[in-house]
Amino acid sequence: MSRKILIIYTGGTIGMVQDPVTKSLIPFDFERIIEKVPELKSFNFSVKSYSFNPLVDSSDMNPEIWVQLVTIIETNYNNYDGFVILHGTDTMAYTASALSFMLHNLQKPVVLTGSQLPLGTIRTDGKENLITALEIAAAEVNGQAVVPEVCIFFQDKLYRGNRTTKYNAEHFRAFRSDNYPALAEVGVHIKYNFPYIRYGVTQDPFRVSKVMDTGVGLLKIFPGINEQFVSAVLNSSGLKAMVLETFGSGNAPTSKWFLKEIEKALNKGVVILNVTQCLAGSVEMWRYETGIHMHEMGVLSGYDITTESAITKLMHLFGEHQSIEDVKTCLNKSLKGEILF
């Protein structure tokens, strides 16, 4: 029996064509995808598509849409062998991270891809991205999926979704994963890096989480940051957790007022997760004085997690758990391969 793959088109550049009259980019009817990518007829597996209506610009991506996505996958999980999600590039890493936490006991590929140029343009990167993402989603050995996790494929690399960051708005290689190796490299052949692919050992049934708590904030430290600004952010109404983007290996200002504001927030029950602003490397709060102080106060290390993954992990954990202690315990664990100790 041939394998079946479902394309879920959320929106984004890949599904655009040029209007013959206005010359502006408009979405095309994705049910007619075969006309744009006739190569799909040559696959030895079947491809069906589902299109969001209305389509979603990736800048408007939010947890409600993530819930829609996991619900679509849940509804179709037993009918398909893999899923390819077409998505705008700007927030693709956030969506991939969120889905990795919301999909439990996943045994099938969920591959996100998109493009920097629309399918309707001559030099589009979208066609190759789509074709290869579909091949990866359909890849199997002895009936088992080769990559049974949430991934991003772009240009010639397959990355773990919750390890990925968009770093380039111009080049076709738009994403990178500095703290974790590529799951596959694509040239003439698709070469899978099997030791780095996450294979579930549980026999528990597939399930999804559908509650994401948006009481999460992001505070990026910069030279000259002032007390009034930090205080306003940390005292935001409804704030449950703050991702603190610090310098280097977890460093922040040594000013007394800064540490005082952090301590006040912690005493109010706000969870603070320290992540590095660097694309590569890990938070090591024991290395410098400020980090040691923050650790002693109760600031948690994000280790080598990406900012996108940190934010979505916190949203997921506060949606799943009532207890702050349970949230903190889970932050110190790798739930879906998002951190290494």
- Residue 215's nearest CA partner among 188, 238, 183 is 238
140 Cβ partners below 8 Å, 6+ apart? 3, 81, 146
- Judge whether 181 and 196 are in contact, CB under 8 Å: yes
Alpha-carbon distance of 286 to 294, in angstroms, equals: 10
- Judge whether 123 and 97 are in contact, CB under 8 Å: no
Alpha helices in the chain (DSSP H): 33-36, 63-76, 92-102, 126-138, 227-234, 256-267, 289-297, 307-320, 324-331
What residues act catalytically?
Answer: 13
Place of tokens 């003439």: 188
Alpha-carbon distance of 278 to 178, in angstroms, equals: 10
